[in-house]
């Protein structure tokens, strides 16, 4: 097997573990939002803006409650951003070390190095773009959006004469709809999109730095797409495409690099370095995920995707997309660090 094929094989497996790490990050951010949900409900019930007694003070209580909750939202989102920023900094460091190890194992020598101390990793995180905007701007926008939507929901419910319990439902949602109709469900959904985008951006930026730091070893980047029933048309068209460095010039095609992965919200594609010809490199053949799995032993598939779901897939009880989905299998950064 060519060296680039072997590197692609290694990084395809790594991508599944990275998706599991995203589940772990998402779970932690969900914890922040659950605490915020409880704090908001407590504020609504305690201040009781819709309490019919003392009508003259109802508007004042509403304004006080909106102001108090706005402060809670601001503080919570600040903590979420700080946690996420630290986690992504460490992810960059972990992935730089992993790529150095994986590449040097291929060459059986210490050809590849990446200069990524903590300060450089943090700068990489702060400058990585998610749909054209830095991560800091995403968090600030989500915080401002939630404050605005909260105030709007409270005023609409207040004018409509809703009870304080009804106001809580506007935020938390209703049991009948499995709490998918509340403001918090929107916040959770946006946080999950950010987690996927940030993780992909940081890993992509780390690999771009690896190519830039090792021009005698790597000559470009290649997109590797997770090809299954959920793959977007964009990532299908970009699958296997190569761009040379410096300049990110298309090689054998006309598709622009456009910042690389992630190419859209919830993008699962990744990029791998392309090894120079003199070291036995050539772009890897991109394969769909089913073909990729067919080349693995039962034990490898069970380890990568979970024994229970892998068996359900082998007996055709779940689809390939359901098999690849890493929900329910979180992987902490420390666990990811120890996978070789």
- pTM across the whole model: 0.85
Task: Please tell me the distance from the alpha carbon of residue 198 to that of residue 15, in angstroms, as a whole number.
Answer: 14
CB 183 within 8 A of CB 149: yes
Q: Average pLDDT, stretch 96-120? A: 90
Q: Summarize pLDDT for 303-329 with one digit per residue, the tens.
A: 777 778 788 778 887 776 676 666 767
> Which band of pLDDT confidence, cut at 50, 70 and 90, is reported for residue 58?
confident
* Phi, psi torsion values for 248, nearest 5 degrees: 50, 55
pLDDT of residue 141: 94
Task: Please tell me the distance from the alpha carbon of residue 177 to that of residue 38, in angstroms, as a whole number.
Answer: 19
Question: 164-172 and 3-47 helices cross at what angle (nearest 10)?
Answer: 180
Angle at 296 between CA 292 and CA 298, to 5 degrees: 130
pLDDT at 337 over 60: yes
Worst-scoring range by mean pLDDT, 36-40, 92-96, 291-295? 291-295
> Which band of pLDDT confidence, cut at 50, 70 and 90, is reported for residue 26?
very high
Token representation of residue 113: 């190095």
pLDDT of residue 34: 96
Q: Summarize pLDDT for 128-176 with one digit per residue, the tens.
A: 888 778 888 999 999 999 999 999 999 999 888 888 899 999 999 998 9
Q: Summarize pLDDT for 214-253 with one digit per residue, the tens.
A: 999 999 999 887 655 567 878 888 888 899 988 899 998 8
- Residue reference for tokens 């995707």: 305
Task: Please tell me the distance from the alpha carbon of residue 266 to that of residue 197, in angstroms, as a whole number.
Answer: 6
CB 23 within 8 A of CB 330: yes
């Amino acid at each position: 097997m060519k060296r680039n094929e072997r590197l692609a094989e290694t990084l395809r497996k790594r991508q599944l573990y990275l998706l599991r790490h995203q589940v772990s990050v998402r779970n932690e951010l969900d914890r922040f939002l659950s605490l915020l949900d409880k704090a908001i409900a407590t504020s609504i019930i305690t201040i009781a803006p819709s309490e019919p007694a003392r009508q003259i003070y109802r508007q004042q209580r509403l304004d006080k409650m909106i102001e108090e909750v706005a402060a809670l939202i601001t503080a919570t989102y600040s903590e979420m951003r700080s946690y996420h920023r630290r986690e992504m900094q460490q992810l960059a460091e972990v992935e730089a070390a992993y790529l150095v190890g994986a590449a040097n194992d291929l060459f059986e020598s210490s050809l590849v190095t990446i200069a990524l101390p903590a300060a450089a990793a943090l700068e990489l995180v702060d400058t990585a773009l998610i749909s054209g905007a830095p991560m800091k701007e995403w968090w600030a926008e989500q915080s401002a959006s939630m404050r605005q939507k909260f105030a709007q929901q409270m005023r609409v419910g207040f004018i409509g004469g809703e009870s304080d319990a009804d106001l809580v439902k506007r935020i938390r949602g209703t049991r009948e709809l499995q709490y998918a109709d509340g403001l918090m469900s929107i916040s959770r959904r946006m946080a999950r999109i950010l987690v996927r985008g940030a993780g992909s951006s940081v890993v992509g930026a780390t690999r771009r730095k690896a190519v830039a730091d090792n021009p005698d070893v790597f000559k470009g980047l290649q997109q590797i797409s997770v090809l299954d029933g959920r793959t977007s048309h964009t990532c299908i068209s970009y699958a296997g495409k190569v761009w040379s460095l410096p300049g990110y010039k298309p090689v054998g095609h006309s598709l622009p690099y456009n910042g690389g992965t992630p190419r859209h919200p919830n993008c699962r594609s990744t990029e791998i370095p392309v090894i120079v010809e003199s070291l036995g490199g050539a772009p890897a053949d991109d394969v769909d995920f089913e073909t990729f799995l067919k080349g693995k032993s039962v034990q490898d598939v069970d380890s990568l995707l979970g024994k229970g779901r892998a068996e359900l897939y082998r007996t055709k009880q779940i689809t390939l997309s359901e098999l690849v989905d890493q929900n329910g299998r979180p992987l902490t950064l420390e666990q990811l660090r120890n996978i070789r």
